[in-house]
């Protein structure tokens, strides 16, 4: 293994029965990065996330977290290392605080009640995700953007070094999209590793430290967005032609037809 890699894919392949989804993926991610995973529909982006937290097991190769194969961790240990925001979270009429408190369950033994420390962490997570003002409202009465932030708060309450998010900005308006991306960037700058499947290349270009580009189950590029998201790559992967434009202030790529 390579020193310092928090997440490592060692020649990982994955197939559903005989249908190959990912082939021979090899990369490493370091702590404190906001990593975007991009690629066309069906490229295997969500599968990469699910291999990281063992929702799926590789058919070949090994996924390592902090130097150890994910298969060697207990589920509870894994839940203290990796939090996950799924693509379509389900909601029940819990209050926001109740739901975010469920994020503490990997730390609670069986029937223990919520400790003051847990309550503090929950408040902090709600503050970071910007959901404090509706802490006592039932989740099913909130808007889509608010719910998404609640789910992020629940994941933050897990206090994990790694946060995985599957299309967290889907269905959100631009304000909420930017809010989530800025939050992830800030968490990464504070040492967390955030890995998000994102569709919007401009969000990736503006906020991510690194980008993984997948196409047809293979990793075709990995690096800083400025060097990776070139017109040539977009042409190759998405089959669309874009001019080479840079943001006048940040100098990062702008993806516009």
Partner 1 sequence: MRTRSGVLRGVVLLAFLLVSILVAAAVGSVAISPVNVGRMLLSRILGFDSIERTWTAAEELIVMQVRLPRVLLAAVIGGGLSAAGVLFQGILRNPLADPYIIGVSSGASLGAAAALLFFIPAGLGWYGTLPLYAFAGAVGATFIVYRVGLMHGRLHPTNLILAGVAVGALFTAMVSFMMVFKIQNLQDVYMWLMGSLSGRGWRQLGAAAPYVLAGSAVAVLFAPKLDVYLLGEETAHSLGIDVQRLQKQVLAIGALIAAACVAVSGVIGFVGLMVPHAVRIWIGPKHTRLTVYAFLAGAIFLVVADTLARTVFSPIELPVGIVTAMTGGPFFIYLMRRS
Residues that bind partner 1 (CB under 8 A): 50, 53-55, 74-76, 78-80, 82-84, 86, 88-95, 98-99, 102-103, 105-106, 108, 110-111, 154, 158, 164
Q: Which residue in 72, 43, 67, 42 sits closest to 57, CA to CA?
A: 72
Q: Nearest approach, Cβ of 8 to partner 1 (angstroms)?
A: 19
In the complex, the smallest distance separating the C-beta of residue 98 from partner 1, rounded to whole angstroms, is 7
User: Which phi and psi (to 5°) does residue 180 adopt?
Assistant: -65, -45
Q: Give the nearest distance from C-beta 53 to partner 1 in angstroms.
A: 5
Of the two residues 111 and 239, which places its CB atom closer to partner 1 in the complex? 111
Mapped onto helix, strand or coil, the DSSP state of residue 169 is coil
Minimum gap (Å) between residue 241 Cβ and partner 1: 37
Of 42 and 93, CB closest to partner 1: 93
Q: Which is nearer to partner 1, 152 or 233 (CB)?
A: 152
- E strands, the chain, in order: 7-16, 19-29, 34-38, 60-65, 68-69, 82-85, 162-166, 193-197, 210-215, 218-223, 245-246, 253-254
CB nearer to partner 1: pick between 78 and 203: 78
Sheet containing 193-197, strands listed edge to edge, beginning at the edge strand earlier in sequence = 82-85, 162-166, 193-197, 34-38, 210-215, 218-223
In whole angstroms, how close is the CB of 248 to partner 1 at the nearest point? 40
What's the order of all strands across the beta sheet hosting 7-16? 19-29, 7-16, 60-65, 68-69
Q: How far is the CB of 63 from partner 1 (least distance, A)?
A: 15
When the beta carbons of 93 and 223 are compared against partner 1, the nearer one is: 93
Which C-beta is closer to partner 1: that of 50 or that of 252? 50
Task: Answer whether 2's CB lies under 8 Å from 28's CB.
Answer: yes
């Amino acid at each position: 293994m390579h020193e310092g890699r928090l997440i490592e894919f060692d020649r990982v392949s994955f197939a559903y029965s005989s249908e190959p989804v990912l082939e021979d993926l090899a990369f490493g991610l370091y702590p404190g990065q906001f990593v975007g995973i991009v690629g066309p529909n069906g490229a295997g982006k969500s599968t990469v996330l699910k291999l990281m937290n063992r929702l799926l097991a590789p058919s070949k190769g090994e996924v390592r977290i902090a130097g150890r194969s994910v298969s060697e961790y207990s589920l509870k240990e894994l839940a203290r290392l990796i939090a996950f925001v799924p693509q379509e979270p389900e909601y029940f009429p819990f209050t926001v605080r109740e739901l975010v408190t469920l994020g503490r369950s990997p730390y609670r033994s069986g029937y223990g009640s919520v400790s003051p420390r847990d309550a503090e962490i929950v408040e902090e997570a709600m503050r970071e995700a910007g959901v404090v003002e509706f802490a006592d409202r039932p989740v099913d009465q909130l808007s889509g953007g608010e719910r998404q932030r609640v789910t992020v708060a629940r994941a933050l309450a897990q206090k994990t070094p790694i946060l995985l998010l599957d299309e967290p900005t889907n269905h959100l308006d631009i304000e909420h999209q930017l809010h989530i991306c800025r939050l992830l960037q800030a968490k990464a700058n504070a040492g967390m590793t955030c890995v998000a499947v994102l569709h919007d290349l401009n969000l990736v270009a503006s906020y991510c430290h690194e980008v993984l580009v997948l196409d047809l189950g293979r990793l075709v590029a990995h690096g800083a967005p400025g060097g990776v998201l070139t017109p040539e790559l977009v042409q190759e992967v998405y089959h669309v032609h874009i001019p080479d434009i840079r943001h006048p202030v940040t100098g990062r790529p702008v993806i516009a037809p």
